[in-house]
Amino acid sequence: MKIAVLMVLFLVQLSTQASNYKPKRDTLFGYPIGQPYYPRPHDVHYPSHAAEKAYNAHPDVYVPTSPGYEPDADRYAYAPGYQNYHQAGQPSAAGIPVFFPSSSGPDVPPPFPARAKPRYPSPNNIINFRAYSTVEQIDAYLDYISDQYPDITDVKTIGYSGEGRPIRMVRIHPRTVRRNSNKPKILVDAGIHAREWIAPAVALYMIQQLVENNDDHRNITEQLEWHIIPLLNPDGYAYSMTTDRMWRKNRSNTTNPYCSGVDLNRNFDLFFGGLGTSSDPCDETYTGKVPFSEPEARALRDYATSLSNVRLYLTLHSFGQFFLYPWGFGDVLPRDWRDLDKLGRVAQKALERVRGTKYRVGSSTNLLGAAAGGSDDWMKGRAGIKYSYTVELPGGGEKGFDLPASQILAVSQETWEALKTMGYFILEERRRHRKRRNPQAGKRLDDI
């Protein structure tokens, strides 16, 4: 009898506590998310560290002395408030909130005010991610979003190719948000190598998600500026679609009348002509006569240097499934390689959770071998962008570069999860920086 009475009292007490319990409201960068944060263990390792030698001519070369460094990548892959959503059949991998759940109650601030859904979904005859888009279709899509979403996008021509095609860039940032020239920026390019068709496709998918689905991504469009160049090498890309599927370079004339084209990713002015390059115009890695001899490379250089506070640079390539960071010119590492490695592993984990695709993270030289004169090295070493990566997307087909069109959407979705997570990482970095300057700041990522 006493036991029964005690059990009843115990159950009543539990019921009372449950009715009065209010779960702690976790947030993602100051915004309420109704999911608690539980840290999870991790097991990550940096690959083989650089040999103990350095290029003394470069001011920012660091040779690590302690192998086995394990960055705390899971702290961001499982940041407070990250949730897994399965919205519209598109799985979210790393738990990035693709929308803010509706909440009720006086203690929960309201989500963002509702905004009109896409007015005119992009016509399937422009891009549909079931087939690779032509140069003309890419241009038509950029025209479409410029016309239909002028409040979110600025589409500009940043230069012209050797054959006179425009090199176009999409700047994504709502006009309703007060402009701030010092706002963190993310610069993305794709299609620097002609045959890597999946790279422009992923860049277009990024643009579609940030623009046409802007309601789902307002944190990373209002608090960041995205500058995306979906096709940097339009001449080579067009040539690979009409004449030579495995064409890699641009279509510039060279000193050899029988061999045209320069490898744009060897044409940048950082250890130009070094390891992994060729001075033979007939080789696929031909550097060109001098650094920035090619209009496509100059267009990217000039646009990058016109921007301030670019925190993240991404150049999309295929194939190989890597997140690569500098240096590519030799077997050495930047002084802040631990930071680069951490963010690379954050992206790696986010991507893997979509459908289990495995990527590797490390410096370009350590994982693929030296290749001097690349855009990622130049962006870090000359443009001063802290986080600079080459993203090697999956391969397929007979020669690796001809990934079947049936894989475009799946690869785009999983890659977007990784790149979106990197955007949230940059947001968190900004919040921490502001909080260090002012302890009262950084609680919510409003405009300064």
| Residues annotated catalytic, as ranges | 392
Neighbours of 405 (CB within 10 A): 16
Residue with tokens 């947030």: 27
**Pairwise CA distance, residues 251 & 299, whole Å:** 16
Q: Are 186 and 423 in contact (CB under 8 A)?
A: yes
**Pairwise CA distance, residues 209 & 221, whole Å:** 11
Of 35, 32, 23, which is closest to residue 100 (Cα–Cα)?
A: 32
Residue with tokens 């929960």: 108
Number of H helices, E strands in the chain: 11, 12
Tokens of 419: 């790149």
Beta strands, E only, 249-330 = 310-318, 322-325
Residues 6+ apart with CB under 8 A from 426: 184, 186, 224, 311, 312, 387
